[in-house]
A and B are shown apart, each in its own frame.
Chain A
Amino acid sequence: MRDRPSGFGNPWLQLGLNIICVVLYELLLKTGAKATADLSQTWSWTGITGLASPLIWLAIVVIILDLMIWLYVLKYIPLSIAFPLSRVVDVLVPISCWLILKEEISTLRWCGIALVIIGLAIVARPAARLEERL
């Protein structure tokens, strides 16, 4: 890891922003893809028909922004640490559905969420060591 910028340029803060962007575009993509699923049977397997939805285009803007943030993160953090940490989205989405949308979460799903959190805590240790070496 090279000289790490501080403040807004902090790669860990940028990793957080990346996670927010991923949650946002996943929701936009799913909504847009569902709305355009029946447009053409011939071409739907390529995903190209999804481009008829404005939500998909909004998602593309978020994806491009997210890509720039992600490239910046990769400049400073090893891929094998940054990528598993970025998967915190997989627990953030169900937890926010539970908190905001009052959706039910099954026991099995809670177990999965717990596993991800334990895994993240374990991965976060090498990440913290990386920070110390600066």
Chain B
Amino acid sequence: MTWWSLVLILVWLATFVAGQLFFKRAMELSSVTGFHNRKTIAFLGAGIFSMTISFLLNLGLLQRFDLSYLYPFQGLSIIMIGLLAAAILKEKLTWRLTIGTLLITAGVVLVSMS
């Protein structure tokens, strides 16, 4: 793997995680103010933009690498989303949830590496 591929994989992950956080924030706002709110639309738009970039990068990576090679990296997104949901969205991250999330991540990595 070249450094360029690593950069693409990192950007793919970062845009995916950011997209999920934007979507969650948009849906939180929509619960309070509905969809006729500029902020809701902005977050939704940012989420869709972020996810589109992530989708295209994923396609490009799939053309070069096996799905089983890329999957462990996707496993990392589970931890990143858990941590960032707690830090940015102020979701409650209990010990139980943290341990469960870590086990799922480890399992996903193991399944795709074997």
**Residue contact A109 to B20, C-beta cutoff 8 Å:** no
Q: Which residues of B contact A114 (CB under 8 A)?
A: 107
Q: Which residues of B contact A78 (CB under 8 A)?
A: 85, 89, 91-92
Contact-size category for A: 35 or more
Residue of A34, A37, A71, A115 with most chain B CB atoms under a 10 A cut-off: A115
**Residue contact A79 to B111, C-beta cutoff 8 Å:** no
**Residue contact B59 to A80, C-beta cutoff 8 Å:** no
Q: Which residues of B contact A90 (CB under 8 A)?
A: 71, 75, 104, 107-108, 111-112
How far does the Cβ of B16 sit from chain A's closest Cβ, in whole Å? 11
A80 to B111, CA, bound (A): 22
How far does the Cβ of B58 sit from chain A's closest Cβ, in whole Å? 7
**Residue contact B81 to A83, C-beta cutoff 8 Å:** yes
How far does the Cβ of B103 sit from chain A's closest Cβ, in whole Å? 3
Q: Which residues of A contact B91 (CB under 8 A)?
A: 78-80
Given A79-B24, A80-B91, A87-B108, check contact A125 B96 (CB 8 Å).
Answer: yes
Q: Which residues of B contact A79 (CB under 8 A)?
A: 20-21, 24, 81, 85, 89, 91
Q: Which residues of A contact B56 (CB under 8 A)?
A: 46-48
B10 part of interface (Cβ distance < 8 Å): no
A106 part of interface (Cβ distance < 8 Å): yes
List B77-111 residues whose CB lies under 8 Å from chain A: 78, 81-82, 85-86, 89, 91-94, 96-97, 99-111
How far does the Cβ of B2 sit from chain A's closest Cβ, in whole Å? 11
Q: Which residues of A contact B108 (CB under 8 A)?
A: 87, 90, 112, 116
Given A63-B55, A111-B110, A116-B111, check contact A84 B78 (CB 8 Å).
Answer: yes
Task: Give A contacts to B, CB under 8 Å.
Answer: 2, 26, 29-30, 33-34, 36-37, 44-50, 56, 63, 67, 70-71, 74-75, 78-81, 83-84, 87, 90-91, 94, 106, 108-109, 111-126
28 of the cross-chain contacts (CB-CB < 8 Å) are: A2-B31, A30-B62, A44-B63, A45-B64, A47-B60, A50-B62, A67-B51, A80-B85, A80-B91, A84-B101, A87-B78, A87-B104, A90-B112, A112-B107, A112-B108, A112-B110, A113-B107, A116-B103, A116-B104, A116-B111, A118-B103, A119-B100, A119-B101, A121-B100, A122-B100, A126-B94, A126-B96, A126-B97
